[in-house]
Chain A
Amino acid sequence: MSLFIELVLLSLSTILVNNFVLVKFLGICPFLGVSKKVSTAIGMSLAVTFVMTVASACTYLVQAFLLEPFGIEYMQTVAFILVIAVLVQFVEMVIQKFSPALYNALGIYLPLITTNCAVLGVALLNVQEGYDFIHSVVFGFSGGLSFMLGIVLFAGVRERLETADIPKALHGFPIALITAGLIAMAFLGFSGMKF
């Protein structure tokens, strides 16, 4: 199998079969917090996708050239958090300087990503699965896309729920959790597929 086909299949399976939010339950905080409107959901997931892709690349380099040669893989979590935090800060500064429009659009979401466990999750999964550099980057990017798919679908449903006739006890957060469960169940339909 050529490398290209392999990468396409990797991203397909990440987006649908092993969806980060709905199957792996990573990044649940922004999934519930920033999903009231489709537009903000798209903004958040674009920022997450970007950071996850870059974080995958950086953490791979740290893992391969720092942690492994010195035999201190057990410091992964600490080192990765450090890398991700610095990366987010740096990206924020660069965007603020060179594209104020994009900075205003992503604004509040950028700093929030530091604490998004999906980003740390993708870095750790890369190591666990033993991906090389290209696989890591593709896995990070499609992980971001899977986050986007989940959160945008969910935001669309939540927008409709605003005007729906819901039992009073379920108003707001409870119905959101039930909806999230139902969407996750729908994604179970993909489970067992092997690419």
Chain B
Amino acid sequence: MQILIPVIILGVLGLVFGTLLGVAAKALKVEKDDRIEQITELLPGANCGGCGYAGCAALAEAIAKGEAEPTKCPGTKKENVNKIADILGIIVEEKEKTVAKVLCSGTCGKASVKYKYEGITDCVAAQRFGGGEKSCAYGCTGYGSCVSVCKFDAIHIENGIAVVDDKKCVGCGMCAEICPKNVIDMIPAKQKVFVLCKSKDKGAVVKDICSAGCVGCKLCEKNCPNGAICVTDNIAKIDYSKCSNCGACAEKCPKGIITKATL
């Protein structure tokens, strides 16, 4: 008989608590939108934060509430975007895919340095010491802040500057955002010709500090059949909506900083 007392007491205690929790669960039930879970499954799940929300689940919640477009995440595959639209019962407009591009050619040896930096390997930190060790105030610092924020392993430091892997880049824009030099641009994926320099310094200054910098000679501007490239603020700029990717500018550029990607 002795052994029955604790068994009964604890059993009753457990039963009471269990019923209490069961009743509480019913009484305090919080309505949850089950679409949120479905949408979360369709998002990439990298939690990169490129959309501006705290991870994929937070974006899914915003999409379900109608606060964000299903196309908000550039990393989501087209068929998944359509599936999300089906869940919500809406039609989405297609958004042009963009990829990141580092607009700098100042690799080791080409760009001169003004001092030796021995701090933390982080561009934002290096930027605070006189704008980094490179003499050029506009070029890639090369300490890989972009590499550390990229969740898709799509950007790497090669020979002193960051290089984006087009195939892996989903266009989330995190690297462009962290870059203290603003040297990374989000460019339409179909664009194949780039001006790999962002220096607004005058030609003579650029020549002194970097052997691969735009000197603003305007040869590209004169040779473009579509009038898509023009030199403003001492730097050649391509109007991507007019450019036909013919590559005439790339052939004429004396510095070889306008490149045409081979396909």
Which residues of A are interface residues toward B (Cβ below 8 A)? 62, 66-67, 70-72, 74-75, 78-79, 82-83, 86, 89-90, 93-94, 96-97, 100, 163
Contact = CB atoms under 8 A, between A and B. Distances in A.
Nearest to B125: A163
A82 B13 contact: yes
Interface residues of B, number: 14
Contact of B20 (A62, A75, A90, A97): A90
A72 B6 CA distance: 6
B90 interface: no
A186 to B, nearest CB: 29
Contacts of B24: 90, 93-94
Given A75-B10, A78-B10, A93-B25, 7 more contacts: A62-B13, A75-B9, A79-B10, A82-B17, A86-B20, A86-B21, A94-B28
B30 A97 contact: yes
A40 to B, nearest CB: 14
A101 B137 CA distance: 44
B64 to A, nearest CB: 16
A94 B28 CA distance: 7
B6 A75 contact: yes
Contacts of A93: 21, 24-25, 28
Nearest to A90: B24
Contacts of B25: 93
B30 to A, nearest CB: 5
Contacts of A74: 6
B5 interface: yes
A44 B172 CA distance: 32
B138 to A, nearest CB: 28
Q: Which 6 A-B pairs have the closest CB atoms?
A: A97-B28, A86-B17, A72-B6, A93-B28, A75-B6, A93-B24
Given A78-B10, A79-B10, A93-B28, A70 B20 contact: no
